[in-house]
């Protein structure tokens, strides 16, 4: 082969100069990890906060109304609670009730007589009135005090 046809040294990668370690790359990598764990911490903090019931009031309140009847269809006289809050009211003589200021989201409505309470899961929407319709309160053999 004639020398002018020979490949030059530049065509051989083995003769490339080894690139010097980029100090900025290491720093960028470190900052990526910091960013990742920062986002993870924020996500987990939010998840932890959402597990508590207190956060539900941050999303507003709604109201609920309905009528409680006994197993034989007559109006029920008793108390209404929202579990985990201080909200309570009594049913009217016709068994109807209205409760305002109920924190939005998944709540538990308790209908109670003198001794026992029945729980009904409800979904309250902020700024809206939820019509629960007729709720049947099943009496049970209760332990005497």
Partner 1 sequence: MGSSEEGQGLVEYAILISLVAISSLLVLQVFGVSVGQLYCDVAEAINLKSACTAKAICEDTFDSLDNWKTHYGKPLANQGQVCLSKGVQMYNLCSMEANVQNYTVRLENAYLYQGDGYGIFFRTSYNAKGANGYIFQYDPGLKAFVIRKWINGKEIWQPIAKTPIPKDYPIYNTPHTVEIRVQDNLYTVILDGEKILEATDDTYTKGGIGLRTWDDTQFCGDQISLLSNP
State how far the Cα of 47 lies from the Cα of 6, in Å rounded to an integer: 66
Going by DSSP bridges, is the β-strand pair 61-70/129-137 parallel, antiparallel, or unpaired? parallel
Looking up tokens 């980029």 gives 22
58 vs 128, beta carbon nearer partner 1: 58
Q: Is beta strand 88-90 parallel, antiparallel or unpaired with respect to 79-82?
A: antiparallel
Smallest separation (angstroms) from partner 1 to the CB of 33:
6
Q: Which region among 32-40, 60-68, 91-99, 127-135 touches partner 1 (by CB under 8 A)?
A: 32-40
Phi and psi torsions of 76, nearest 5°: -95, 135
Cα distance between residue 101 and residue 65, in whole Å: 12
Question: Smallest gap, in angstroms, from Cβ of residue 51 to partner 1?
Answer: 7
CA distance 116 to 46: 36
3-state secondary structure of 92: coil
Q: Is 24 in the site for partner 1 (CB under 8 A)?
A: no
Among 74, 96, 106, 115, the residue binding partner 1 under the rule CB under 8 A is: 115
Residues 50-109 that bind partner 1 (CB under 8 A): 51-53, 79, 81, 83-84, 88, 108
Contacting positions for partner 1 (CB under 8 A): 23, 27, 30-31, 33-34, 37-38, 40-41, 44-45, 47-48, 51-53, 79, 81, 83-84, 88, 108, 110, 112-119, 140, 143-145
């Amino acid at each position: 082969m004639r020398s002018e046809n020979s490949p030059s040294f530049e065509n051989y990668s083995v003769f490339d100069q080894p690139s010097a370690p980029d100090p900025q790359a290491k720093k960028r990598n470190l900052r990526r990890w910091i960013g990742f764990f920062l986002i993870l911490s924020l996500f987990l903090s939010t998840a932890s906060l959402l597990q508590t019931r207190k956060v539900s009031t941050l999303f507003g309140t709604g109201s609920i109304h309905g009528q409680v009847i006994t197993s034989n269809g007559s109006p029920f006289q008793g108390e209404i609670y929202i579990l985990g809050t201080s909200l309570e009211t009594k049913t009217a003589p016709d068994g109807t009730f209205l409760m305002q200021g109920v924190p939005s989201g998944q709540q538990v409505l308790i209908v109670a007589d003198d001794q026992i309470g029945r729980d009904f899961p409800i979904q309250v929407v902020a700024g809206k009135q939820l019509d629960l319709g007729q709720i049947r309160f099943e009496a049970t053999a209760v332990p005497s005090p």
